[in-house]
A and B are shown apart, each in its own frame.
Chain A
Amino acid sequence: MTFSSLIFIFAFLPAVLLLYGLVRPARARTVIMIAASLIFYAWGNPVYVILLVLSTVFNYYAGCDLAETERGSRLQQRIFVAAVIVNLLILGYFKYCGFLVGTVNALLKTSFSAPEMPLPLGLSFFTFKAIAWIADARSGKINPRCGLLWFAASIMMFPTISMGPIDRMQDIVPQMRRPDFSIANVEKGLVLFIVGLIKKVLLADNIVDLYNSFRALPVGKVSVLMAWLGMAAFAFQLYFDFSGYSDMAKGISLMFGIRAGDNFDHPYTAVSVTDFWRRWHISLSRWFRDYIYIPLGGNRVTVGRHVRNILIVWALTGLWHGAAWTYVAWGVYYGLVLLLEKYFLIKILEKLPKPVRILYTMFIVMIGWVFFSSRSFAEAAATCGALFGGGMHSFADSRALYYLRTNLLLLVFCVLGSTAWPFRFYTWTQKKYPVISAVGTVLLTFLAVAFMVYSTYQPFLYAAF
């Protein structure tokens, strides 16, 4: 089930909310949350529910065992390493086997075949939540013996299981014990959910057609304008899809009285790449900072070590996003840019006017997206070639103009939607003209429903296999 499916919005979510409203005690509500989350998880692939449950139990007791073992002792170290390895092995098997096997084959000219299992929902996310939990248990930062029920509900809860945010479980567990479930929060959560739904269904799912049209063209036929339009479409689709989903996750959590963390803060208005990464996928950056970067020494080491730390963290960040060398390269690319900014550019940047800084940042980000979206380095290079002109690429052809004209309004909305203004305006209208604002929101929701229904419409379309 995804948040933008009809059955989730009209059946599942209202049903669980109703159940929450009918029972009072937090324990009962937590049981309902766990049951609902298991159903939600099983909806995608029933067998993997076993994995989720086993992993949750394993990680909870790992945390407990670590807290009960003498801190700093060899034994505690061993338990910690073993537990982390178990988590990483599972993640590695599902996500990285193909990548590993492919690389080995390419290097050694062997032909091993990798298993092709579907990826369990939210594996990368709950694995990271679990590792953070046991790391904090080991260092004594938290008391992990809170009760399996509360831990399970916190890590499995369906609003955040599929795409995060990667919150610290110690922030969620106390809320699960005493959820702030109220009409006011349901209303606030609803607004946030609708905003996220609109981002995903009206913006992301529509601008993606432009990107797909661009990618379908043979690279020789792509004009510079078309390439920029295509990559801009990708940038918008990725942002609105992911931040939309994060908004929906936060909104739904709030409806159940749980405050989840922020994941995005208008990243396309960042004034430097360093600033960008404080605004994009915030929970992930924080995880890497707290559990890889700082344990490696962070920046309180020699410059050489610092560079090494940054590159390791960013290579891993890239790898987390996808099992391919293009993703690793994307990560390392950012590592290098960030180092450059820290040691040289930041002083220059501070003197430049804001629009210039934003343009600079977006330029770096767009190049990054080329690597992120390409299936191979060759494709990435070809796309860069198209973006910067050169020989065979015309500047603007009739086709690019066509796509520009037919997507103009959508692109304008995307650009506006990337800034903080629409939301500020929206909150202002809520205060000044509540009725009009509510009616407008309802109309936009209807529009979102219309688009969701359309996506299930298949005139002469064949079931995608």
Chain B
Amino acid sequence: MKKSRIMLILSGLGLVVFMAALIWSQYYPDIPMERIAAALAEQPGIAEMRTEDASGLRRYYSIDSAETEGFVFFRSNSIMSADELLVVRAKDHEEALLYLESARKRLGEVTENFENYGAEEMTKIESAICEVRGKYLIFAVSDNASDWERDILGEIKK
């Protein structure tokens, strides 16, 4: 075969592989919340935080826990710290997007509350994670936020 033909096929295959990898990375299987909670329990920073229940979910995010298929919500014990982690398993992707709006509002409030408190909290808040993956809403404010996110996603995609 001519060189052009070979290169064409190779690069074509490369594109296929790339697109496939990209699509696969977007796919988030549906797993029960307990597995995520278990994976998080060992994470640094979680043990020191206070676990919130449904009333906390309603108070801070206006999300009704009965509408969800499970959630974990941790907040810092100290009012001087902005650390917070919320993972919500929604009924479907659309619901998760609605929860994303609540999470964004929450981020705005947290930013407003801490903007006078100083630099460290603000750096955490500026690199906060606020996203939807599949049916899951992940909201994390902490120095450990990206580690938490990595573990959550790792657990989901196992």
Residue ID in chain A nearest B104 by CB atoms? A465
A86 to B112, CA, bound (A): 48
A462 touches B8 (CB 8 A): no
Interface segment among A24-32, A58-66, A375-383, A434-442: the answer is: A58-66
B15 touches A117 (CB 8 A): no
B4 touches A462 (CB 8 A): no
B93 touches A113 (CB 8 A): yes
At the interface, yes or no: B119 with Cβ under 8 Å from chain A? Answer: no
Q: Which of B1-54 contact A (CB under 8 A)?
A: 2, 4-5, 7-8, 11-12, 14-15, 18-19, 22-23, 26
By a CB distance below 8 angstroms, the chain B residues around A460 are: 115
By a CB distance below 8 angstroms, the chain B residues around A465 are: 104, 107, 130
A115 touches B4 (CB 8 A): no
Residue ID in chain A nearest B110 by CB atoms? A462
B11 touches A54 (CB 8 A): yes
At the interface, yes or no: A274 with Cβ under 8 Å from chain B? Answer: no
A193 to chain B, nearest CB (A): 32
By a CB distance below 8 angstroms, the chain A residues around B4 are: 61, 64-65, 68
| Contact pattern, A 422-465, Cβ under 8 Å of B = 1, otherwise 0 | 00000000000000000000000000000000000000101101
A61 touches B11 (CB 8 A): yes
A462 touches B108 (CB 8 A): yes
By a CB distance below 8 angstroms, the chain A residues around B18 are: 50-51, 54
By a CB distance below 8 angstroms, the chain B residues around A463 are: 111, 126
A90 touches B7 (CB 8 A): no
At the interface, yes or no: A398 with Cβ under 8 Å from chain B? Answer: no
A115 to B130, CA, bound (A): 18
B12 touches A462 (CB 8 A): no
Given that A61-B4, A61-B8 are contacting pairs, would A462 and B15 also be in contact in the complex, using a CB cutoff of 8 Å?
no
A58 touches B11 (CB 8 A): yes
Given that A65-B8, A86-B15, A463-B126 are contacting pairs, would A117 and B22 also be in contact in the complex, using a CB cutoff of 8 Å?
yes
A55 to B15, CA, bound (A): 7
By a CB distance below 8 angstroms, the chain A residues around B22 are: 47, 117
Given that A54-B15, A55-B15, A62-B8 are contacting pairs, would A111 and B115 also be in contact in the complex, using a CB cutoff of 8 Å?
no
Count of interface residues, chain A, beta-carbon cutoff 8 Å = 26
Which listed residue (A50, A57, A93) contacts B7, Cβ 8 A? Answer: A57
A62 to B94, CA, bound (A): 40
Residue ID in chain A nearest B93 by CB atoms? A113
At the interface, yes or no: B147 with Cβ under 8 Å from chain A? Answer: no
A58 to B130, CA, bound (A): 37
At the interface, yes or no: B69 with Cβ under 8 Å from chain A? Answer: no
A58 to B18, CA, bound (A): 13
At the interface, yes or no: B64 with Cβ under 8 Å from chain A? Answer: no
Residue with the greatest number of chain A CB neighbours at <10 A, chosen from B14, B92, B112: B14
Residue ID in chain B nearest A83 by CB atoms? B8
By a CB distance below 8 angstroms, the chain A residues around B92 are: 111, 113
Q: Which of B78-96 contact A (CB under 8 A)?
A: 92-94
A65 touches B2 (CB 8 A): yes
Which listed residue (B8, B26, B94) contacts A58, Cβ 8 A? Answer: B8
A117 to B24, CA, bound (A): 12
B107 touches A90 (CB 8 A): no
A136 to chain B, nearest CB (A): 16
Residue with the greatest number of chain B CB neighbours at <10 A, chosen from A47, A65, A115: A65
A265 to chain B, nearest CB (A): 37
By a CB distance below 8 angstroms, the chain A residues around B112 are: 462
B13 to chain A, nearest CB (A): 10
A98 to chain B, nearest CB (A): 12
B11 touches A90 (CB 8 A): no
Q: Interface on A for B, CB 8 Å cutoff?
A: 47, 50-51, 54-55, 57-58, 61-62, 64-65, 68, 79, 83, 86, 90, 93, 111, 113, 115-117, 460, 462-463, 465
A-B pairs with beta carbons under 8 Å apart, 19 shown: A50-B18, A51-B15, A51-B18, A57-B11, A58-B15, A61-B4, A61-B7, A61-B8, A61-B11, A64-B8, A65-B5, A65-B8, A68-B2, A83-B8, A111-B94, A113-B94, A115-B23, A462-B107, A465-B130
- Further 15 A-B residue pairs, CB within 8 A, beyond A54-B15, A58-B12, A117-B22: A51-B15, A54-B11, A54-B14, A61-B5, A64-B7, A65-B8, A86-B15, A90-B15, A90-B19, A115-B26, A116-B26, A117-B26, A462-B107, A463-B126, A465-B104
